[in-house]
Structure 1
């Protein structure tokens, strides 16, 4: 596990400025993803607990979007270079270095967790532990929005992501992992691929009922 984290951290540390330039305004051209983030924010606000973690926040653009949507949002990322960039780009927001498997958040503290394509580098065998950690920090009624690459097959598919190896998932199987972690998946959106890889883009909303 440590080797996987080290490789991912080093890969993203090496592409910070390029990554930020490519993705800082990406949702402006992705109406489906933008709509799911907006729905997530509305539901988190309705839960009465606006405190939300953007896990795997990268350059912080979605953390800022969550703030604009009325949430008390902060960002966490494995890459110290990404965290530093996010702090410079969004000085009014909080950003910290952290692993998704060991969040620096108290139990049952959050109304929401956003994981926007930030679980894709996690090997399948490690994903249940990662999801359990997201559940640990969610308050009853809290929500998790996960976005990832989807495949039509029965098994996760490892592929060469432009930064570091990643995995696409069958949506039903990913939703089953969410349920096994103690969440209730209640909404999903699949849409045509936005890249040459050919995978569908998937967004799944789940609630922790406590």
Structure 2
């Protein structure tokens, strides 16, 4: 089974957190995973993925849309047996890092995620048939150095876009849970890693948007 890495605004044992997790199975899986730290393992397939809305429009604007995407992202990751290491979502794109399960092809997984979220967004906005998602880009991570740089890139991406001064202040990512779960050595490895040369599609304008 895929293992869930995090939820936004993670605070263990709070009513708000438990209400956010709708599936009992998913809750149990997450509580097991919270006490473990994902790490680089040679021989496994790791990918970094970027997904974009059609024409980079801000279809996921609003906390309800970001929450729905988060729930479906984590649920479908479990369904397709992908282990999530880091993720972040904005109003017009997302990034994540995952370790593949038995089938390393992310296409089937993201097709379902995009179908589910498109349907929900179009019902919310009363725009049946509107094209919501454009496409996604994925690349394999081949070394531990590349893995650490990309972890930094994803977890600090809200800072990169100028939405916040510190990644802790952006709720729609796995940063808070990641920081709470890793050791000091692991935190330093990622936080001090340079990611300015990471080749990730990220030409998305978030100017003027609230975190």
Does TM, normalized by the shorter one, top 0.5?
no
Between Structure 1 and Structure 2, the one with more strand by share is 1
- TM-score calculated relative to the size of structure 2: 0.29
- TM-score calculated relative to the size of structure 1: 0.29
